[in-house]
Amino acid sequence: MKKQHSFGFEIYNDISELNKEDASLMEEARKTTQKAYAPYSNFLVGAAALFNNGQKVFGTNQENASYPVGICAERVLLASASMLQTDEPIKTMAISYNNLSRVGGSDRPISPCGMCRQSLAEYEERTSQSMRLILSGMEGKVIVIESASQLLPFSFGSESMK
């Protein structure tokens, strides 16, 4: 039996097409990139999240000379969220980046890495709520995904442990 998995997402030409709340959150994610510690890659990532209760939390990537020791902005944010607002659902997370290297730009959306996708899916499972993702660079197109877990079909979760 062959089956297929697919999901929908929205693409906007730029931040001006987003509703006020989403545009504001993306602006905060873009500003947050300035606080990233990325001296090796010069690839600054910032994330901003809005909880259901209206509070916000932020995260940036943190590199290390021993590359496996670094941590992505999304997981920094989720760790902070877990400490500051234990089990409070995140309504929306905006993720942006600023590529300061001589190659490439910061004008198109990027997607969370596999490890972050797993962490995002687990946070959704833990809080029993989908988390919208807004993905964009410092300018240009914006992608909105209704649930982070859509990025990781067949994820490993608590049911896998039973």
pLDDT-derived band at 157 (thresholds 50, 70, 90) equals: confident
159 has catalytic annotation: no
For 159, which DSSP code? Answer: G
User: Please, what is the Cα angle at 55 between 37 and 33, to 5 degrees?
Assistant: 20
Q: pTM to 2 decimals? A: 0.94
Residue 36 has a pLDDT of 98
**Kind and range of the H or E element at 60?**
strand 56-60
Question: Cα(16)–Cα(36) distance, rounded to whole angstroms?
Answer: 25
Per-residue pLDDT tens over the stretch 86-134: 889 999 999 999 999 878 889 999 999 999 999 999 999 999 999 999 9
Q: Which of 74, 122, 139, 159 is catalytic?
A: 74
Residue 62 burial class via C-beta count within 10 angstroms: exposed 0-12, middle 13-18, buried 19 and up: middle
Per-residue pLDDT tens over the stretch 31-67: 999 999 999 999 999 999 999 999 999 999 999 999 8
pLDDT-derived band at 5 (thresholds 50, 70, 90) equals: confident
Domains and CATH numbers, the chain: 19-151 (3.40.140.10)
Q: Are 73 and 59 in contact (CB under 8 A)?
A: yes
